[in-house]
């Protein structure tokens, strides 16, 4: 900021050699010399109510002899009033949809003691149920996980967090039931995993399959290797036209981190935070997709997973149409795979823009890429 | 495990944070909507913002200067989306937005509203951000500087330019309308 003398009689961007007909005559030198010192910044602060009493008096004294400055300040005050009046006219009626999950999270947290007592009471029964369910899931996942990991890392009850089975959110639960894992998708994934080299990674195939189900977005397999997560297994799910993938990774401490991406319905509630027994679940939406991550509460990778998944998903440009009205090959491909996940895995990767590297410092680099006003730090007289 | 060690104070802090977050959701949505001009994209961005904030604060501890922190995270979400999708948030769908806005009954207010939205749409994105943060959301200059990760002097400069540009556009529009009436 520069506290340069504010002289409202000069236009903001004078055009040399071209007189401004609306420009008021300059004040007599004797009057100007008596004016209080008022900077451009001070006038802005006056408009935004950020001056103390002395500052306000100084600006008001200045304005008393400067009709052009008064006009400008009034215009800015009027702008602020207009902007604030916009608040009443924006289509934001359903903000409650955002607040509800937060409030639900509070309720979940406050009800922790009750839940824990219930767990102690039902502990034995739950352990048995989880053993059965976890065993069934482990068997299903065993068909699909990477062959080299089969012997040592087959998902089992020990690596499937209890939280995974305990969600009470119906939109997420819809992605879970064992019955929803179609045998075709598991077979297809197993087939893809068994292809000779160079073959696509298992999670890559799953993401390609999902990409085929969503025409608005491109999806590439997130690179979790660099944050120390390795794939343990996964599957594709489809139920009532809502495709999803479920992948299980292990962190360096061998704890499981589960990632779900599904195509939700428009009326799915914006739930994104649930906590159960040492695990956190983050859920969020983007366009038609619902994401969920389940990880240990102390997992350092949680926020990184959010960033990496976000970077792997990009909105596609609107479909191009040829002169004859034919859609592009991308759209045709998306339509062709509607009949099932088997074909979806065969869809070539979309011509998506390269995913941004979230490890790079995003703010400043991107801000620098934005068009900047020239001489931005140099205050300009109003 | 977080649940093993938490106490009464921790629970109270969690509740405070959650309530504070809820209190800022509408402001975030409002700002996002006027920045990108599309309700779906704006809500997606706010959703991702809240997710990131919660992901980074899993202990639900109070966050200093929460409002600036939230707007800063939202700003980063926009930047990431811009980089991913190779398009600027300045693809401002003003007509689409105007069509969905709640129109004032008064004709003059309606015209003012329209002029304001159309003028905002023409502002460069970096000026629009500052004008909206300060003028619409009432952030202090310091908060705006934190939210946008720029020096406070840059905030003042962008604000000055943005306001002057808005003034020029709305004056021009007003004089054009007057000529039409005559």
Chain B residues touching A75 at Cβ < 8 A: 163, 167, 170-171
Which DSSP string do the residues of B39-100 spell out, in sequence order? HHHHHHHHHHHHHHHHHH-TT----TTHHHHHHHHHHHHHHHHHHHHT--TT---HHHHHHH
Average pLDDT, chain B: 79
Q: Which has more pLDDT, B136 or A329?
A: B136
Which residue of B lies nearest to A83 if distances are taken between CA atoms? B136
pLDDT of residue A374 exceeding 70, the answer is: no
The predicted pLDDT at position A205 comes to: 74
8 Å CB contact of A363 and B76: yes
Answer whether A167's CB lies under 8 Å from A177's CB: no
Cα–Cα distance, B19 to B62 (Å, whole number): 11
For residue A373, give the nearest of B146, B165, B145 by alpha carbon.
B165
Residues A195, A199, A201, A205, CA torsion sign: negative
End-to-end CA distance of chain B: 73
pLDDT over 60 (residue A235): yes
Q: What does the pLDDT look like over B99-119, one tens digit per residue? A: 777 777 788 888 888 888 889
CB < 8 Å from A in window 54-113 of B: 54-56, 58, 60, 72, 75-76, 79-80, 82-86, 88, 100-104, 109, 112-113
Tens digits of residue pLDDT in B39-52? 878 888 888 888 78
pLDDT of residue B27: 92
Report how far Cα A51 is from the mean position of its chain's Cα atoms. Answer: 37
Choose between A22 and A129: higher pLDDT.
A129
Comparing alpha-carbon positions, the chain A residue that sits nearest to B124 is A371
Q: Which two tokens stand for residue A194?
A: 């068994």
Beta strand pairing call for A256-263 and A242-250: antiparallel
- Is A217 in CB contact (< 8 Å) with chain B? no
CA-based end-to-end distance of chain A: 14
List for chain B the helix, strand, coil content (%; round to 5).
80, 0, 20
Instruction: Judge whether residue B32 has pLDDT over 80.
Output: yes
**pLDDT band at residue A337 under the 50/70/90 scheme:** very low
| Res A131 pLDDT > 50 | no
ipTM for the predicted complex comes to 0.84
Look at the alpha carbons of B75, B80, B85, B87 in this order and tell me if their dihedral is positive or negative. Answer: positive
For residue A278, give the nearest of A154, A157, A114, A116 by alpha carbon: A116
CB pairs under 8 A between A and B: 221
DSSP state at residue A165: G
Element holding A315 (H helix, E strand): strand A313-315
Instruction: Name the residue facing B113 among A86, A273, A356 (closest C-beta).
Output: A86
Q: What does residue A255 show for φ and ψ, rounded to 5 degrees? A: -80, 145
What is the least distance, in Å, from the CA of A266 to any CA of chain B?
11
Query: How much is the pLDDT for A123?
Result: 53
Task: Please state whether beta strands A313-315 and A217-219 pair in parallel, antiparallel, or not at all (unpaired).
Answer: antiparallel
CB-CB under 8 Å, B47 with A376? no
| Whole-number pLDDT of residue B43 | 82
Element at A98 (helix H, strand E): helix A96-110
Distance of alpha carbon A206 from alpha carbon A224, whole angstroms? 15
CB contact under 8 A, B163 and A377: no
- Is A376's CB within 8 Å of B52's CB? no
Residue B5 with chain A: CB contacts under 8 Å: none
Q: Any bridge partners for residue A281, and if so which?
A: A274, A294
Mean pLDDT of A188-206: 51
Domains defined for chain A, CATH in brackets: 29-86 (no CATH), 96-360 (3.30.200.100)
pLDDT(A163) > 50? no
How far apart CA B94 and CA B136 sit, in angstroms, is: 17
Q: Cα–Cα distances in Å, from B27 out to A92, A183, B68, B78, B149? A: 10, 46, 12, 16, 19
pLDDT score of A267 more than 50: no
Dihedral angle, C-alpha B106, B111, B115, B118, nearest 10 °: 100
Distance from CA of A177 to the nearest CA of B (A): 25
Note the pLDDT of residue A279. Answer: 63
What are A43-70's pLDDT values in tens digits?
Answer: 999 999 999 888 888 888 888 888 888 8
Residue in chain B closest to A270 (alpha carbons) equals: B47
Q: Is the dihedral of CA A285, A286, A292, A296 positive or negative?
A: negative
pLDDT value at residue B12:
62
Using CA atoms, how far apart are residues A298 and A161, in angstroms rounded to an integer? 14
Contact B36, B42 (CB under 8 A): yes
Whether A82 and chain B come into contact, CB under 8 Å, resolves to yes
At A232, which helix (H) or strand (E)? strand A230-239
User: What's the mean per-residue pLDDT of chain A?
Assistant: 57
pLDDT at A30: 44
Question: How many whole angstroms separate alpha carbon A102 and alpha carbon A264?
Answer: 20
Q: What is the pLDDT of residues B57-92, one digit of tens each?
A: 766 677 888 999 999 999 999 888 877 765 555 556
Phi, psi of A280 (to 5 degrees): -115, 150
A191 touches chain B (CB under 8 A): no
Chain B residues with CB-CB distance to A373 below 8 A: 124, 126-127, 157-158, 161
Nearest chain B residue to A71 by CA distance is: B167
**CB contact (8 A) between residue A272 and residue B125:** no
Cβ atoms of residues A1 and B142 within 8 Å:
no
Q: Which of A97, A276, A96, A100 is nearest to B18 (CA)?
A: A100
Give the fold, CATH level 3, of B2-181.
Butyryl-CoA Dehydrogenase, subunit A; domain 3 (1.20.140)
Selecting from A47, A85, A282 the residue whose C-beta is nearest the C-beta of B54 gives A282
- B123 to chain A, closest Cα gap in Å: 11
SS3 content of chain A, % helix, strand, coil (to 5): 45, 15, 40
Measure the CA angle with vertex A19, ends A14 and A25; round to 5°: 90
Q: What is the pTM of this model?
A: 0.53
Smallest CA–CA distance from B81 into chain A, residue: A314
Whether omega before A198 lies within 30 degrees of 0, making that bond cis, reads yes
What is the per-residue pLDDT for A244? 76
Closest by Cβ to A79, choosing from B14, B125, B135: B135
Tell me the sheet residues that pair with A313.
A219
Strand A279-286 to strand A230-239: parallel, antiparallel, or no bridges (unpaired)? unpaired
Mean pLDDT, rounded, for A293-310: 75
Q: Which residue has the higher pLDDT, B10 or A368?
A: B10
CA distance B178 to chain A (A): 18
């Amino acid at each position: 900021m520069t506290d340069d003398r504010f002289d409202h009689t000069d236009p903001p961007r004078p055009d040399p050699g071209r007189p401004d007909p609306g420009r008021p005559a300059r004040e007599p030198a004797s009057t100007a010399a008596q004016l209080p010192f008022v900077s451009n910044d001070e006038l802005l602060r006056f408009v935004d109510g950020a001056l103390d009493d002395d500052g306000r008096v100084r600006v008001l004294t200045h304005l008393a002899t400067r009709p052009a400055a008064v006009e400008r300040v009034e215009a800015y005050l009027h702008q602020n009033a207009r902007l604030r009046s916009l608040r009443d006219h924006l289509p934001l009626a359903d903000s409650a949809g955002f607040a509800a999950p937060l409030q639900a999270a509070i309720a979940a947290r406050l009800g922790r003691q009750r839940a824990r007592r219930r767990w102690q009471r039902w502990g034995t029964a739950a352990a048995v149920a989880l053993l059965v369910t976890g065993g069934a899931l482990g068997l299903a996942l065993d068909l699909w996980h990477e062959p080299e990991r089969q012997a040592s890392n087959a998902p089992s009850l020990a690596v499937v967090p209890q939280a995974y089975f305990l969600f009470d959110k119906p939109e997420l639960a819809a992605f879970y039931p064992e019955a929803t894992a179609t045998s075709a998708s598991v077979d297809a994934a197993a087939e893809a995993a068994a292809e000779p080299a160079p073959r696509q990674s298992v999670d890559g195939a799953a993401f390609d399959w999902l990409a085929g189900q969503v025409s608005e977005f491109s999806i590439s397999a997130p690179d979790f290797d660099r944050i120390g997560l390795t794939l343990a297994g996964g599957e594709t799910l489809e139920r009532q036209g809502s495709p999803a993938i479920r992948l299980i990774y292990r962190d360096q401490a061998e704890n499981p981190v589960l990632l779900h991406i599904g195509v939700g319905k428009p009326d799915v509630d914006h739930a994104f935070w649930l906590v159960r027994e040492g695990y956190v679940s983050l859920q969020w939406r983007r366009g038609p997709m619902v994401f969920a991550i389940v990880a240990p509460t102390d997992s350092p990778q949680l926020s990184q997973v959010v960033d990496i998944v976000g970077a792997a998903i990009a909105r596609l440009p609107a479909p191009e149409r040829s002169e004859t009205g034919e859609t592009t090959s991308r759209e045709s491909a998306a339509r062709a795979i509607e009949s099932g996940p088997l074909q979806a895995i065969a869809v070539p990767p979309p011509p998506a823009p390269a995913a941004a590297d979230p490890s790079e410092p995003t703010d400043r680099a991107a801000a620098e890429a934005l068009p900047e006003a020239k001489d931005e730090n140099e205050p300009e007289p109003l | 495990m977080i649940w093993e060690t938490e106490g009464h104070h921790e629970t109270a802090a969690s509740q405070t944070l959650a309530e504070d977050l809820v209190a800022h959701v509408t402001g975030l949505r409002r700002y996002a909507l006027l920045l990108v001009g599309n309700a779906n994209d704006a809500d997606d961005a706010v959703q991702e913002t809240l997710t990131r904030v919660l992901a980074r604060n899993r202990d639900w501890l109070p966050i200093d200067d929460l409002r600036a922190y939230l707007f800063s995270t939202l700003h980063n979400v926009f930047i990431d989306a811009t980089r991913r999708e190779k398009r600027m948030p300045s693809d401002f769908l003003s007509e689409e937005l105007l069509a969905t806005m709640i129109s004032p009954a008064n004709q003059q207010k309606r015209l003012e509203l329209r002029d304001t939205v159309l003028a905002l749409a023409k502002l460069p994105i970096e000026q629009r951000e500052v004008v909206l943060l300060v003028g619409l959301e009432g952030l202090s200059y310091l908060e705006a500087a934190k939210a946008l990760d720029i020096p406070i002097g840059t905030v003042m400069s962008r604000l000055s330019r943005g306001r002057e540009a808005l003034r020029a556009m709305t004056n021009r529009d007003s004089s054009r309308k007057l000529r039409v009436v005559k």
